[in-house]
Structure 1
Amino acid sequence: MEDEKLKENGMAVQVSDLPDQIIEPTAEDWKNLREVADKIPTSAFLIILIEFCERFTFYGLSGPFQNYIQQPPPPSYPAAVPGALGKGQQTATALTTFFNFWCYCTPILGAIIADKYLGKYKTILVFACIYLVGLLILTCSSVPAAIENGAAFPGFVVALIIIGFGTGGIKSNVSPLVAEQYQHSKPYVRTLKNGDRVIVSPQATYQKLFNMFYWGINCGSLAAVSTPIIEKNVGFWAAFLLPTCVFIPGIVLVIVGKGWYVQTPPRGSVFFEVATVMRMAIKHGSLEKCKPSMMQEKDEKVSWDDVFVDELRRTFRACVVFCWFPLYWLCYSQMTNNLVSMVATTQTGAVPNDIMQNINPMTLVICIPVMDRLIYPGLRRLGFPMRPMSRITCGFVFASLAMAYTAGMQHMIYTRPPYYDHPTGHGKNDLTAAVVVPSYVLIAISEIFASVTGLEYAFKKAPEKMKSLVMSLFLFTNCIGAILGFALVSVAVDPKLQWMYAGISASMFVCAILFYVCHGKNDDTDVAEDNIMRDKKDVCVAGGGEVIEEYELNGKSAV
C-alpha cells in the first residue's frame, strides 16, 4: 500500500480513503465507466486557507498600486481619484510591471532552496517572515508624514523588492505542497451508493484539487474590493495596513498546522544531474542513450536511473508547453495596470476606479465551482474529458477575445467628449465604466482554462525531485510576460492604447491556433504515458537505499 511505503520514509500521511480491495480498471472499464475525483484530504483544505490569507494580502496591497504611483496626493479625503506619488501612467505601468516581473522571477530561488535545503514547508515559513518585513515597510512609508517628506517613493521601491522576494518563495512551493497532500497515484473502480460503477482517477482528482486551490486564491483576491474603498475614503496607509494584518493569521496557520501536512523532505538539487544528462545527450546524440540500461560498460557510473531520464523527457515536454504562456500573461496583466487607468477615464460615480478589477476574482469564485461540479463532470459523462491541451487552448482564445473587446471599448472612450482621445491626466469622458466589465469577465474565464490547467500540468509532469522547480518555471513564464509588458510601456499612452490592445488580441489568437496544432496531440498520448510512468515508479526505496521491490524496465531488472 502507498500509505505504508510513505510511513516507512518517515512522512506524515492522511488516512487512506481507498476501499479494502482495490479494483484496477480494465480497458473495457475505461471505455464504459466515467471518471470521478477522489476525496480531497483535510490537510489540503488547510493549505488552501493559508493561500487565501497570502492572496488576500498580495491583491489587497497591489490593487491600489496604480493609483498610488500614478496620481498626485488629493487635497483631502474622501478623494475622487486618490493618489500619493504623482509619477504618471507610464511610470505606474512600468513599476507595476516590474513588480509582476520580480514576483515571478524569485520563485526559482525559492524552489532551489526547498528542493535542496529546507523542504517546501520550512521554505514557505522563512519566506513568509521576509514577506511580513516588506509589508511593514510599505505600510509605514505610506503614512501622510512619509509622503509629505518624500520618503514614500524609496520606501515603496524597497518594499516592492522585499515583498516580491517573499512571495516568490511561497509561490513556487505552496501549489506543489497542496497537491502532495493527495497520495494515491493509481486509478481504481468504486461502486457508488446508487449502484453506479465509476473510475476514481488521480487526473480527475488533481483537476478538482487545483480548481479548489485556484478558487481559494480568488476568494483571497477579493480583498481588493475593500482596499480601494479604504484608499478612497481614508488613505493608502490604512489600505495597506489591512492586508498586513490579514497576513499574520496565515503565518500562524503555517506553524500550528505543521503536524497535519504531508511533508516531502528535501531530496537534493538535481541541477548537476540534469546538466550531466544533457551533456551526455549532446555527446551521444540522444537522450535515450543516457539511460543506464542503454549505456556501454565503458561509460562512467551515473547517479540516475532510467526512470529519471524518462521523467526528464516529460519535463522538457511540459516546459515546451509553458513557452506559449508569456503572451497569455501579457493579456492577463493588462487588468491590473492599463485597464485600471482606462476605468479612471470613464464615469465611475462614487465607485473607486481600481475596484473594477475585482470583477475578475468575483467571476472566478462563481464560475470555478460551476466548472468543477457541472461542466467538467458533464463533459466527462458525454465522453469529452477536456484534457489539458484542449483547456489551455480555450483559455488562450478567451484571452484573445478579452483583448479584442478591450480594444473596442478603448476606441469607444476615444470617441466621447469632452477629452476624446486624450482623457488621461485631464478628466473623465462621457461613458459609463460598466462597459469595461466584460473584459474582466472574459479574462477570468480564460484563467479557469489556461492558468488552473497550467498549474495542474506543471505538477503532474514534474519529476519527484523537481516539483517545486518545474512549478517555478511555469510561474517564470509570467516573468517573461512582464518583460513583454515592459516593451509595450512606450505605447501605453493616449491615443495608442486601442492599437496596443488590438495587437495583443491578434497575437494571442494566432498563438492559440499554433498551440493546438503543435500540442493538441498530447491529450491523446499523456494518459497512456502517465500509466506507463506510474507502473515504472511502483518501486519504493526507503531511507538508506534499501530495495523494496523490483520492476521490469526495458526488459531488464531494475530497482
Structure 2
Amino acid sequence: MTRKSRTPSFQQSAREDNAEKQSLTPKSPTEQNTKTSANFQSMLNTNDTYAASTFEESPIKAKNNTSGFTGKLTSVVSSFFSFLQFPKVVWLILLSEGSERLAFYGFKTVLPLFLKDYLNWDEDGATVIIHSFIFFAYLTPLLGSVMADGFFGKFTTILIMAILYCIGQVLVAVTAIPGLTGHPPRSWGIIIGLFIIGLASGGIKPNVSSMGGEQFSSRDPVLITSFFSFFYLTINLGSTFSTIVTPILRTEFGYAIAFALPAVAMILSTIVFAVGRPWYKIVKPKENIVISSAKVAVYSLICTARDWVKRFLSIFRITSAPVRVTHFLDRAKKRYPERLVEDIKICLRIIIVLMPICAFFALFDQHASRFVFQATHMNRNFFGVNLDADQIQVINPFMIILLVPFFDRLVYPACRLFDRVFVLTPLRRMAVGFVITALSFVLSAFVDFLVEHFGPGKIHVIAQLPQYITLGMGEILVSVTALEFAYQQAPPRMKSLMSAFYLLTVSAGNVIVLIVAALPIPAFPYKQTVEFLVFAGLIMCALGIFLILAWFYKYRDTTQDDDQVASDQNVKTIPVISSAVDDELDGDFSGDGCDAKVSSMYDVESAM
C-alpha cells in the first residue's frame, strides 16, 4: 500500500482502527452498557484537527468549514485574532501563571551566581545543585496530579501549593540577608527553600495548564492550541521581566532584595488566582486515577507473567495455552471497567511517544547553567554598560515573546493552507524542533571554541545570540507542542496526569545533565566544547527513536470530550465488584492475587 493511500479522512481511519481492535480484543464481562457503546461509536464519526499524522500515523482531518484556497486564507486571517474569543476567566489564569513564572525564573536567574559567588561553590557543584532543583521541581508534578485528580481538585490543589510556594520564597529571601546565617554564609536556608519551592511549584505545574484548557470547549481545538501558545507566552513575559530586573536588584541592593521580588510576585499570583474562584469551570475529582492506573498495570503484569508460564508449560502439555490478547492491559478487563483500561492504553501510547523529549530538556535547561557560565568568560559590554552574566539569559524568554506570536499567528496558520500537500502535525513539529535544538548546541560549541582559543573577554557575548535564537525556536516546536499534545490527546480524566508526565520528561532530562556534570572527567582543553557536541549528538539519537515511535502513533479523536465530562459529572459513581475470574485465572496460581475480587469507582453509570 502506498503512503498516499494511507491518508484518508479521519473518520475512515478511525473506523478501520476500531474495527481491527474489536476483532482482536477479547470480550470482557465488564463491558460498558449500550449507551456507552453508542457514544463511542458516535465519537468515531467526528472530525479533529489534523489531516494527517507523522510518518504513517492515523491521519485526522482538519476542522475547516471553508473550501478552496480563498476560504482557507480567510480562516487564517480570522484565526490571527482568535485570542479575543478566550473566556474572560482565562485571563486571570494567564495573569496568575505569569506572576508565578516571574517568581520562579527571577529566583532561578540569580541562583547560579548566588551559589558560586555568595556561597563560594565551584561551577560544577553549582551546576549539580541547579539541575537537582530543576529535577525535583519537575518530578513533584506527579504528586500534584494525584492531589488534584484524586482528592482536592485542581483549584484547591493549586491554592494549597501556591501558599506553600510563598513560604519557600520568603524563606530564601530572609536567609539571604548578610550575616543572618553566619560568616561565612551557610547554605541551609537556600537548601530548605529549594526543597519547598520545588515541591510547591511541582504541585502547581500540571494543574494550572490543564485547568486553563478546561475553560474551553473540546470542539474548538484551534482555540485550545492558541491558548497553550499564549500560556507559554505568558510564562516568558514573566521570565523576561524577572531575568532583567533581579540581576539589577542583586547588583544594586544584594541577594536578599533580589530574592524578595520573586516572593512578592508569588504572593500576588496567589491572590489573583484565588479571586477567580466563582467563575472557573471546575471539574470535580472522581477517584484517584494514579492509584487506579497502578492497580490495572500491576494486575496486568501479574497476569501476563502467569500467561508466559502457562504458555511455557503448554509446550510440554502440562497445561493448556492461555488465550492470546492484543495488548497486555486487555487482561485487566476481566476485573476493571473497560473504559478505564482503554484510557490507560491511550496514556501509555502518549507516554511512549513523548519519552525521547527527555533529551531535549537535557539540552534546553543548560541555558540556565552552562550558557551563563560561558557568558562569564565573554565580553559583556554594551555601549559602555557592563551586563551581568545572569542577565544574558533574558535573550531566551525575549526570543520566545517574539517567536510565539510569529509561529502561532503566522507560521501555523500559513502551514494550514497547504494541508493537502503536507500537514504540520504536532509530532512533526516536535521532530523539526529536535533538529533546531541540536543546531543550537553546535553553535554553542563553536562559541566555546572561540572563547577557549582567543581567551577570556576577547569574544563578545553577542556571539551567544544565534544559540539562544535557535534554542527558542526548538522550545516552541518541542516544549509548547508537547504540552498541547499531552493535554489534547489525554482522556478527560487523565489530563493532569499526562501534564505531570510531560513535566517528568523535564526532570529526566536534568538527570542526564547531572550525570554528565558529576562525571570525574579531568579538565582538558576545549572540554566544554566537546560536551556541547556530545549533547548535540544525544538529541539527534533521540530524534531517530522519536521518528520510529511517531511513525506508529495513532491520533485520538477528542471532539466528544466535553460530552464525556458533562456525562461524568451527572453520573452516580458506585463501586463495582467483579465476579470471580474465569477458569484461566484459577488453579495452580490462585495465590498470586489475580483472582481476588476488586472494587473500582471508575465511571460506572447508575443504569448499571
Q: 1:447 aligned to 2:475? A: yes
Aligned to 1:422: none
Q: What 5-or-longer segments of structure 2 have no aligned partner? A: 1-45, 49-60, 305-323, 575-606
1:181 to 203, 212, 215: 215
TM-score, normalising length from structure 1? 0.80
Deviation string 1:74-94 (CA, Å, 9 cap, x unpaired) is xxxxxxxxxx11111011111
Deviation string 1:173-207 (CA, Å, 9 cap, x unpaired) is 1111111110x233xxxxxxxxxxxxxxx332221
Structure 2 matches for 1:22-101, cutoff 5 A? 34=72, 39-71=85-117, 84-101=118-135
2-structure distance, mates of 1:234, 1:250: 24
Aligned to 1:310: 342
2-structure distance, mates of 1:42, 1:267: 27
1:243 to 259, 262, 270: 262
Aligned to 1:226: 245
Distance 1:494 1:44, change over 3 A: farther
1:322 to 350, 354, 358: 354
- The Cα of 1:532 is off from its aligned counterpart by 8.5
Code of the aligned partner of 1:239: A
1-structure distance, mates of 2:356, 2:511: 14
2-structure distance, mates of 1:26, 1:321: 22
Q: What 5-or-longer segments of structure 1 have no aligned partner? A: 1-21, 72-83, 187-201, 418-427, 548-557
2-structure distance, mates of 1:330, 1:343: 19
1-structure distance, mates of 2:354, 2:63: 32
1-structure distance, mates of 2:512, 2:64: 48
1:213 to 212, 231, 255: 231
2-structure distance, mates of 1:312, 1:322: 15
Aligned to 1:15: none
Distance 1:502 1:260, change over 3 A: same
Whether the 8 Å CA contact 1:268–1:465 is kept in 2: the answer is no
Aligned to 1:482: 510
1-structure distance, mates of 2:565, 2:280: 23
2-structure distance, mates of 1:26, 1:357: 38
Distance 1:23 1:55, change over 3 A: closer
Residue identity over aligned pairs, in percent, reads 25
Whether the 8 Å CA contact 2:488–2:558 is kept in 1: the answer is no
- The Cα of 1:146 is off from its aligned counterpart by 2.6
Could you say what secondary structure the match of 1:145 adopts? coil
Aligned to 1:170: 204
Distance 1:107 1:539, change over 3 A: closer
Structure 2 matches for 1:57-456, cutoff 5 A? 57-71=103-117, 84-146=118-180, 149-182=183-216, 184-186=217-219, 202-222=220-240, 223-282=242-301, 283=303, 286=325, 299-300=334-335, 302=336, 304=337, 306-349=338-381, 350-383=386-419, 384-417=422-455, 428-456=456-484
- The Cα of 1:310 is off from its aligned counterpart by 2.6
2-structure distance, mates of 1:117, 1:546: 15
- The Cα of 1:503 is off from its aligned counterpart by 0.5
Distance 1:26 1:409, change over 3 A: closer
1-structure distance, mates of 2:62, 2:368: 49
Code of the aligned partner of 2:125: T
Deviation string 1:249-296 (CA, Å, 9 cap, x unpaired) is 11111221111211111221023432343345443653668669x96x
Whether the 8 Å CA contact 1:104–1:476 is kept in 2: the answer is yes
Q: 1:461 aligned to 2:489? A: yes
- The Cα of 1:533 is off from its aligned counterpart by 6.8
Deviation string 1:127-184 (CA, Å, 9 cap, x unpaired) is 01111111111101111223653444111111111111111111121111111110x2
Deviation string 1:70-118 (CA, Å, 9 cap, x unpaired) is 12xxxxxxxxxxxx11111011111101111110111111111111111
Code of the aligned partner of 1:42: K
Code of the aligned partner of 1:366: L
Aligned to 1:501: 532
2-structure distance, mates of 1:177, 1:539: 15
Could you say what secondary structure the match of 1:346 adopts? coil
2-structure distance, mates of 1:464, 1:240: 38
1-structure distance, mates of 2:230, 2:264: 25
2-structure distance, mates of 1:95, 1:142: 17
2-structure distance, mates of 1:239, 1:50: 20
TM-score, normalising length from structure 2? 0.73
2-structure distance, mates of 1:262, 1:532: 18
- The Cα of 1:360 is off from its aligned counterpart by 0.4
Whether the 8 Å CA contact 1:281–1:287 is kept in 2: the answer is no
Name the stretch that deviates more: 318-327 or 512-521.
512-521
Whether the 8 Å CA contact 1:492–1:500 is kept in 2: the answer is no
2-structure distance, mates of 1:60, 1:219: 12
Code of the aligned partner of 1:434: I
Q: 1:472 aligned to 2:503? A: no
1-structure distance, mates of 2:205, 2:563: 30
Structure 2 matches for 1:510-525, cutoff 5 A? 510-520=541-551, 522=553, 525=554
Name the stretch that deviates more: 437-446 or 483-492.
483-492
Could you say what secondary structure the match of 1:144 adopts? coil
Name the stretch that deviates more: 95-104 or 376-385.
376-385
Whether the 8 Å CA contact 1:141–1:151 is kept in 2: the answer is no
Whether the 8 Å CA contact 1:308–1:463 is kept in 2: the answer is no
- The Cα of 1:233 is off from its aligned counterpart by 2.5
2-structure distance, mates of 1:429, 1:23: 58
Whether the 8 Å CA contact 2:152–2:285 is kept in 1: the answer is yes
2-structure distance, mates of 1:217, 1:346: 28
- The Cα of 1:224 is off from its aligned counterpart by 0.9
Deviation string 1:286-339 (CA, Å, 9 cap, x unpaired) is 3668669x96xxx55x3x2x3333322211111012210111111011110011
2-structure distance, mates of 1:116, 1:28: 37
2-structure distance, mates of 1:399, 1:29: 36
Code of the aligned partner of 1:464: P
Aligned to 1:423: none
Deviation string 1:508-558 (CA, Å, 9 cap, x unpaired) is 123223312331453xx41xx3168759949824445299xxxxxxxxxx9
Whether the 8 Å CA contact 2:178–2:185 is kept in 1: the answer is no
Task: Give the paired residue count.
Answer: 479
Whether the 8 Å CA contact 1:324–1:511 is kept in 2: the answer is yes
